Each structure stands twice: as structure tokens, then as C-alpha cells.
């Protein structure tokens, strides 16, 4: 039942019915309090309605429960990057990259976290995004833009 509520909630979010999506995801989480996917979905819904602090709290819980799960970790890392907590963002993504070394979004966000302190390592992570066989066009654009900036700081050898 929890999975159906999760799917229905996510479908509602994608359709733009944020309040109903939120309600369904909260219900899914009540029925299965440890469900990381439901936590992540609810965090997305809360962020959409402007409840960023609660969304971040739930992302932290989801990440603590399943550190190698890419969705919550990537969203948590982006929130940290937005607050200039680059080192913490890198730490959040480390278990994801251990489990999924080619995950494009995790590699992009680690590259962003490393851009100021270690441009060469950042470019190595960007290569994983740029070499993806089925790249997300937006991720590719972001990776290419960051790679151009970093190329001036740490040219390829």
C-alpha cells in the first residue's frame, strides 16, 4: 500500500498538484516511516511549497537512513552547495559515488563542491558526466559550463 501511495504522490507532484502529492506522500510515510523514497518525495513536495527547513530536515533523515541512495543525497548536497557548505556536500555524496561511481548528477555536484579547492579533481568528476552515453541535456550543459571555467584553472594533462 505504501508503494502505491508513493507512486500516486509522485505522479501528483509531476502533474503539478503539489498539495495532493504532499498529502499522499505524508500518508505513505506514516504507513511506512522508514521509507527513504517516501521521505525524498515528501522533501521535494515540501520544497515546492516553500517549507525548505522541513524539507532539508527530511532529506537529512533520508540520507542518514540510506547514505548511498542518489536522490536524497544529491538533493541534500545541492542544498548544502547553495549555502556554500562545499566540504559537507562532498561528504554527503561520497557514499553515493562509492556505490554508483558513474552517477551523473552526483559527479556533477561533487565537481561543484570541489571547484574552488581542487579544480583538477573536479574536472575528473565532470568527465563522468560528459562521457555518459545517455546524458541528461541540462546536466550536460551544466557540466560543460563548469568544465570550461575549470579548464582555465586546471588544464588537462
Start and end residues for every CATH 1.25.40.10 domain found in the chain: 1-66, 67-157
Between CA 144 and CA 10 the distance in angstroms is: 30
Q: Which fold has domain 1-66?
A: 1.25.40
Instruction: Report pLDDT digits (tens) over 105-152.
Output: 999 999 999 999 999 999 999 998 988 777 789 999 999 999 999 998
d(CA 25, CA 4): 10
pLDDT tens figures, 5-55: 999 999 999 999 999 999 999 999 999 999 999 999 999 999 999 999 999
- CATH for 67-157, options being 1.10.10.60, 1.25.40.10, 3.10.620.30, 1.10.3720.10: 1.25.40.10
Question: pLDDT (tens digit, 9 = 90+) per residue, 69-86?
Answer: 999 999 999 999 999 999
The pLDDT value given to residue 156: 58
Handedness of CA 150, 145, 100, 66 (dihedral sign): positive
Give which of 141, 107, 113 is closest to 125, Cα–Cα: 107
Q: How far apart, in whole angstroms, are the C-alpha atoms of residue 60 and residue 43?
A: 10
Amino acid at each position: 500500500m505504501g508503494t502505491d501511495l508513493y507512486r500516486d504522490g509522485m505522479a501528483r507532484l509531476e502533474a503539478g498538484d503539489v498539495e495532493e502529492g504532499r498529502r499522499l506522500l505524508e500518508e505513505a510515510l506514516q504507513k511506512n516511516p522508514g521509507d527513504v523514497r517516501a521521505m525524498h518525495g515528501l522533501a521535494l513536495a515540501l520544497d515546492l511549497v516553500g517549507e525548505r527547513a522541513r524539507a532539508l530536515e527530511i532529506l537529512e533523515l533520508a540520507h542518514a537512513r540510506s547514505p548511498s541512495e542518489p536522490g536524497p543525497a544529491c538533493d541534500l548536497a545541492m542544498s548544502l552547495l547553495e549555502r556554500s557548505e562545499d566540504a559537507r556536500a562532498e561528504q554527503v555524496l561520497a557514499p553515493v559515488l562509492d556505490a554508483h561511481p558513474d552517477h551523473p548528477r552526483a559527479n556533477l555536484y561533487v565537481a561543484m563542491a570541489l571547484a574552488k579547492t581542487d579544480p583538477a579533481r573536479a574536472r575528473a568528476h565532470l568527465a563522468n558526466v560528459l562521457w555518459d552515453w545517455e546524458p541528461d541535456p541540462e546536466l550536460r550543459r551544466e557540466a560543460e559550463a563548469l568544465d570550461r571555467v575549470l579548464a582555465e584553472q586546471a588544464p588537462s594533462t
